[in-house]
Structure 1
Amino acid sequence: MTIKKLAAILGLSHTTVSRALNDHPAISQATKDNVLQAAREYGYIPNSAARALRNVSSMAFGLVIPDIQNDFFITITNAIAHVAAARSWQMMLGITGDKPEMEQAALLRLMTARVDGIIFAPTASPSAQTQELVTRTNAVQLLRHHDSLQTPVIAIDDRDGITQAVKHLRELGHTRIGYIGSARQLSTGSERLQGFLQNFSVAEQQALADIIYVGPPQAEFGGEAFRRVMSASVRPTALVLGSPRYAMSILLAAKEMNIAIPDDLSLVAYGDVSWGSLLEVKLTFISLPEKQIADACVTIIDRLMNQETPLSPEVFYATTGSQLFMPKLVVGDSTKALTQ
């Protein structure tokens, strides 16, 4: 959407539309309101090249995440927010609910506010407009990545994390190991599932098919999937979780089904949980490099805020580079050797 296209839709000259967008005193308030409303409706944002010519920084950046109930994103958001406050940066938060339309709206609002850059966890299916918007700003994908979005990525080696969990369980003698994780449509879900499967032969994968469940990254799914897994004709002796969102609902379902951990089932969680210290059994979990990721985000934001001239998206992408951080297995009391 350009000023000329917007002007044609409104039946105004492009000069009038331009002046209205720039709050020119010669334009009536009614016209300004109509133009601004249309700009929001049709997705007009100022051309990034024109912004670069003004050579100014808003000292604001956007952070767009799926929700604020995920322990991982809560930790990252808090860490970045504290640094931003200390450096007088303005952080603008967007929530997508993992819905492409909300993602598109969040990015559009941030770009209309002229932020210096955006760090975001993409949805499984970014819209065509989201893909276009990303090419017009300095954007970084956080934790997740989508091939349609040509931006640097700050992520975790999810395959390695899940592999560490499976190897730990196998060393304890477990062979019938179940898995509950996020859907393949999300890059994190796909990578973690592949990390699980790559530890088994094709024949072993087929034998485990009835105790492998993937679905939406929502807490409720964890409990539902757990009940299905534990209702299999042959129960697993161990279980790997592929998302921190599932831990609480799975532990509640285990209690409901009188399944003792680790006596009846060894359990490895993905990511530490804030309430873990309240449990009688200390969880074995894959520790995520949250501080390293937060520091990487801050470094990128710092670079954006301290550029003498705004970086073009092409230069930003070419010079920033993606970063992959390694998780680590932390052994607790929720796993034990299998007794025959």
Structure 2
Amino acid sequence: MTIKKLAAILGLSHTTVSRALNDHPAISQATKNSVLQAAREYGYIPNSAARALRNASTGAFGLVIPDIQNDFFITITNAIAHQAAEQGWQMMLAITGDKPEMEHTVLRRLMTARVDGIIFAPTASPLDESRELLLRTNAVQLLRRHDSLPAPVIAIDDRYGIHLAVQHLRGLGHSRIGYIGSSLALSTGAERLQGFLQGFSAEEQAALEDVIAMGPPQAAFGGEAFARIMGSANPPSALVLGSPRYAMSILLAAKAQNIRIPDDLSLVAYGDVSWGSLLDVKLTTITLPETEIASACVAIIRQWMSAETPVTPEAFYAATQSHIFTPQLVPGGSTSAFTPRR
């Protein structure tokens, strides 16, 4: 069904039907109602591509994330999608798998679809071609940042968050504290490690080298790193997890090794996990401001959608500030005061 066919059925001009569908003030409400009713009956669907050529906004935006297994990204995606649906916006979700080539592919496809803007979590090493694409569109970096990219950032003060975990454990008397974090190639991994190290003197840092493990933000790595750290000659009395992806594998590994939490090992996790309520012991966590982050993303999207004329990337980047949110530590039952091993 096209506008021309709909116009022929109604005995109206093509222009009148088009204006009625777009709520033009020159068309009477009675005519609008009859056109909308016929459009529903005959299954007319507006051509969004054609409409995009006429209007400043397509009503669509891209959300590009590494995967849909990370609890943080799942929560953010659901929150943005829900608000987008309420506003009548179209969200196009793309997954990169943390691969630069896939990142370039999805960015190019989104731009081909004429989205008004893109919110994305960059990979560790974006291709030059991706950087060139981002110079031609409005984009925002989510959670992660890459200094070579021009886009502003909506992120968390990762360094402060991990430092809160160290302060909490040191306040409980722990001094030999281990850390499992994501790759230093990611901005989040580098910032969180710095937050951990700043809680110790240079001498203390040197003594902790054997209980610090860095790797990909994947569950399997968490379990492997845990086994290595706890199998050392002098295992830590407490452990900080730099990614929520590690929590499940580490808890399973601890159970397999008969390591009791918090009796044998105090544990602080970075970020909430959706299955946390199923545990016998509530995790001590660094809680991330997911609602505030989602709201900041929606505010950016609204800026794109409400523009009467297209906003150039240069103007957007010059006028848009980064937002860095502060996490909080929420004590739970997975941490307790240090007691010397017998």
Same fold, judged at TM 0.5 (above): yes
Query: 2:15 is matched with which residue?
Result: none
| Whole-angstrom distance in 2 between the partners of 1:310 and 1:223 | 49
Partner SS for 1:169 = helix
| Whole-angstrom distance in 2 between the partners of 1:314 and 1:233 | 56
| Whole-angstrom distance in 2 between the partners of 1:164 and 1:198 | 11
Deviations 1:38-93 (A, max 9, x none): xxxxxxxxxxxxx9996521100000000000000000000000011111100000
Counterpart of 2:208 in structure 1: which amino acid?
L
Query: 1:112 is matched with which residue?
Result: 112
| Whole-angstrom distance in 2 between the partners of 1:160 and 1:168 | 12
Over the matched positions of the two proteins, sequence identity in percent amounts to 73
Query: 2:228 is matched with which residue?
Result: 228
| Whole-angstrom distance in 2 between the partners of 1:321 and 1:313 | 13
Unaligned runs of 5+ in 2: 1-50
Query: 1:80 is matched with which residue?
Result: 80
Deviations 1:255-302 (A, max 9, x none): 111100000000000001000000001000000000000000000000
Partner SS for 1:181 = strand
Matched, 1:321 2:318: no
Partner SS for 1:334 = coil
| Whole-angstrom distance in 2 between the partners of 1:54 and 1:324 | 36
Query: 1:199 is matched with which residue?
Result: 199
| Whole-angstrom distance in 1 between the partners of 2:191 and 2:232 | 25
| Whole-angstrom distance in 1 between the partners of 2:290 and 2:259 | 31
Counterpart of 1:166 in structure 2: which amino acid?
V
Counterpart of 1:75 in structure 2: which amino acid?
T
Query: 2:339 is matched with which residue?
Result: 339
Q: Residues 1-340 of structure 1 correspond to what in structure 2 (within 5 A)?
A: 55-340=55-340
- 1:339 Cα offset (Å): 1.8
Partner SS for 2:208 = helix
Partner SS for 1:285 = strand
| Whole-angstrom distance in 2 between the partners of 1:277 and 1:209 | 33
Partner SS for 1:162 = helix
- 1:310 Cα offset (Å): 1.1
| Whole-angstrom distance in 2 between the partners of 1:135 and 1:52 | 21
Cα RMSD after superposing both structures? 1.2
| Whole-angstrom distance in 2 between the partners of 1:239 and 1:314 | 44
Counterpart of 2:90 in structure 1: which amino acid?
Q
| Whole-angstrom distance in 2 between the partners of 1:146 and 1:52 | 31
Counterpart of 2:67 in structure 1: which amino acid?
D
Q: 1:129 to 1:54 in 2, by over 3 A?
A: farther
Unaligned runs of 5+ in 1: 1-50
Deviations 1:9-42 (A, max 9, x none): xxxxxxxxxxxxxxxxxxxxxxxxxxxxxxxxxx
| Whole-angstrom distance in 2 between the partners of 1:310 and 1:154 | 22
| Whole-angstrom distance in 2 between the partners of 1:324 and 1:57 | 28
Contact 1:173 1:337 in 2 (8 A): yes
Contact 1:52 1:310 in 2 (8 A): no
Deviations 1:109-138 (A, max 9, x none): 000000000000000000000010000000
| Whole-angstrom distance in 2 between the partners of 1:211 and 1:231 | 10
Contact 1:285 1:331 in 2 (8 A): yes
Q: TM-score, structure 1 length as denominator?
A: 0.84
| Whole-angstrom distance in 1 between the partners of 2:255 and 2:105 | 41
| Whole-angstrom distance in 2 between the partners of 1:175 and 1:159 | 19
| Whole-angstrom distance in 2 between the partners of 1:147 and 1:324 | 15
| Whole-angstrom distance in 2 between the partners of 1:310 and 1:316 | 10
Of residues 164-173 and 196-205 in structure 1, the stretch that sits farther from structure 2 once superposed is 196-205
Greater Rg by CA: 2
| Whole-angstrom distance in 2 between the partners of 1:84 and 1:231 | 48
Q: TM-score, structure 2 length as denominator?
A: 0.84
Deviations 1:133-168 (A, max 9, x none): 000000000000001101110000000000000000
Contact 1:52 1:309 in 2 (8 A): no
Partner SS for 2:308 = coil
